[in-house]
Amino acid sequence: MGTRGLAEGVVLVLGGRSEIGLEVARRLAPGRVVVLAARRSQELAPNSAEVMSAGATAVHTVEFEADDTSAHPAMLEKIVAEHGRIGIAVLAFGVLGDQLRAEQDPAHAMAILRTDFVAQAGMLTLLTNLLRAQGDGQIVVFSSVAGVRVRRANYVYGSAKAGLDGFASGLADALHGSGVHLLLVRPGFVIGRMTEGMSPAPFSSTPDQVAAATVAGLRKRAGRVWVPRILRPVFFAMRLLPQPIWRRMPR
């Protein structure tokens, strides 16, 4: 493998029933071992079958609770011991949470931050150490345009994504020259289970479109991918909006 292309090894999807994570797994599956990690892993048989049908040589499931960070080191060790080195790790777990509830309930606000930022930062640190020791590997982090400039309408979720975006950006710089590649994906509104019942925002995308852009970014060893690409100049302009106008921006 050169400086471009996909790293060899197991494809690990943390958040193994995530629509985007599964779409990424399907695209990476041909000729590879895939591990789907999620809560209630015994219920992942349909998801495993879908990835197998996409060409995986084997699909394994692992119990994974994002907020139980103390269990993460042993889980990763077990995956490597039983299935081999991790080539590509996809962090596809997260929660949207309830903004109105989070504004009244500190425990709910902290729960969103714990899953969407704290657990992600911990897992990224573990994966970084593991892949650095191997000398290569790729990590996918899903940020969001919600974290590029946080809006009043979803500031709890947005602040978690802002923290994750900053952490991943700094980590990518720290990994420069190590052989380990981090891809930061910044989707806009994604139409799927997580946003069911919500009105789509402008420049929305589907899990399929996000996954396609993600895999293309992995192949090119890109640092950042916006989905759709038009969001990059849009949010450059959004940063310049005066605060009184920004304050009234919808989700």
- What is the longest distance spanned by two Cα atoms in the chain? 55
DSSP designation for 200: P
* Whether 157 contacts 97, CB under 8 Å: yes
Q: Which of 117, 157, 167, 189 is catalytic?
A: 157
Catalytic, 155? Answer: no
What single-letter amino acid sits at 13? V
Q: Which residues pair with 184 in a beta bridge?
A: 141, 224
* Whether 142 contacts 168, CB under 8 Å: no
Look at residues 192, 185, 188, 186 and name the one whose alpha carbon lies nearest to residue 208: 192
Q: What is the DSSP string of 115-170?
A: IIIIHHHHHHHHHHHHHHHHT-EEEEEE--GGGTS--GGGHHHHHHHHHHHHHHHH
Distance, CA of 46 to chain centre: 21
What single-letter amino acid sits at 192? G
* Whether 29 contacts 3, CB under 8 Å: no
Total residue length of the chain? 251
Q: How far apart are CA 136 and CA 247, in angstroms?
A: 43
The catalytic residues are 157
